[in-house]
Amino acid sequence: MEDFREVKLPEHLCKAAETRWGHRFSSIEELLTFLLSEISREESDHMDQREKHMIDERLKNLGYM
């Protein structure tokens, strides 16, 4: 079972999110879980690309590429 945290958000942001995304997500918690998961994954993808670039550069400098 996962641990949970309580997060406090301004009411106007919650209402705006419900208006815009309420048809897709059943709650603000579900929306935030989705968004935070996506952001975390995107950060990981960007890091992987930077790491790949660094490795490519090192291999190129060593004459392997």
The pTM of the full predicted model, rounded to 2 decimals, is: 0.60
- Residue pLDDT, tens place only, 9-47: 999 999 999 999 899 999 999 999 998 888 877 666 666
3-state secondary structure of 59: helix
Q: Where are the alpha helices (DSSP H) in 1-65?
A: 11-21, 28-61
Residue 35 lies in a domain: no
Residue 22 lies in a domain: no
Residue 62 lies in a domain: yes
Report the alpha-carbon distance of residue 32 to residue 62 in Å, rounded.
45
Q: Within 10 Å of residue 14's Cβ, how many Cβ atoms?
A: 13
Report the alpha-carbon distance of residue 35 to residue 30 in Å, rounded.
9
Residue 65 lies in a domain: yes
Residue 15 lies in a domain: no
Residue 51 lies in a domain: yes
Torsion-angle region of residue 17: left (phi > 0), alpha (psi -120 to 50) or beta?
A: alpha
Residue 6 lies in a domain: no
Residue 57 lies in a domain: yes
Q: How many domains does the chain have?
A: 1
Question: Structural domain of residue 54, as residue ranges?
Answer: 41-65
